[in-house]
Amino acid sequence: MSNERRKVGFIGLGVMGQAMASHIQNHGYPLFIYNRTKEKGKLLIEKGAIWCNTPKEVVENADVVFTIVGFPEDVEEIYLGENGLITNGREGQFFIDMTTSSPSLAVKLYEEGKKKGIHVLDAPVSGGDIGAKEARLAIMVGGDKEAFESILPIFKTMGTNVVYQGQAGFGQHTKMANQIAIASNMMGVSEALIYAIKAGLDAELVLQTIETGAAGSFSLSKLGPRMLIEDYSPGFFIKHFIKDMKIALNEAEKMGLELPGLSLAKKLYESLAENGEENSGTQALIKYYR
């Protein structure tokens, strides 16, 4: 079946998902959507998307289904629950989970799908709300290469750096590496900016100066300015970042790895969450230092 004729389902219309689904829709794919809160699908519905009342209804109508939800337990329910995708899926369908979830769960879903002739890919993303809105996400994919190549044209509606990482679970392992890098970097960005402020410098000028040098990073350039104007709206929720760090630390423990930077970042973010910041963006880490 050609990509032009494929009916696409999208489950999870949060900070990232709504923008990602809109890009698929804008490329002419018939779109079937589901979210716990129908209100978040309003704009897509106004543009022609078909609302479905359950994941089961999505899978009954779509050839390809993308999911991006909150936690691994949500993923497992959506795929293997009574109304789940694999539970109600049919041979030849493609299911792509873009949630940052556990590599072991990704392998489990792949194996369960294979029993029914369903192609399951794990394809977590990086780039935050900005990358999602601008269709510039990095997408890291695990699963069968043939399935990846078949879905690649749809992936390219959402991202500019779409990379096949290898077997099932490897997309999630790559995302863990991504989150590990971000965790310590966010501490560095927060500490650099709070240092500049305490030293009496023009923190905005400092940011403009150092972001083009060796210290440059996405977190510094995109989230640093938000820190300075105290904009803590979520491009990525603290509660979800804590979830990711826990997964990464669990996987590292299985490998016999000690990751002190990641452990410290998790501790700092958990402190913020305990003080009511779990629904703030990750840039709210600077509040710990303030």
Catalytic residue positions, numbered: 175
Q: Give dist(CA 243, CA 228) in Å, integer.
A: 26
Q: Measured between alpha carbons, how far is residue 6 from residues 27, 154, 213, 222 in Å? A: 12, 10, 45, 35
CB 128 within 8 A of CB 235: yes
Instruction: Please give the Cα distance from 135 to 260 (Å, whole number).
Output: 34
Biggest CA-to-CA distance, the chain: 64
Angle ∠(17,70,221) on CA atoms, nearest 5:
65
Helix, strand, or coil here: 40?
A: helix
Place of tokens 């699963």: 143
* Residue 188: Cβ within 10 Å count: 14
Contact of 98 with 120, CB cutoff 8 Å: no
Do 155 and 143 touch, CB atoms closer than 8 A? no
Tell me how far the alpha carbon of residue 120 is from its chain's centroid: 17
What is the rounded distance in angstroms from the CA atom of residue 21 to the CA atom of residue 35?
12
Closest CA to 66 of 112, 103, 35: 35
3-class secondary structure, 157: coil
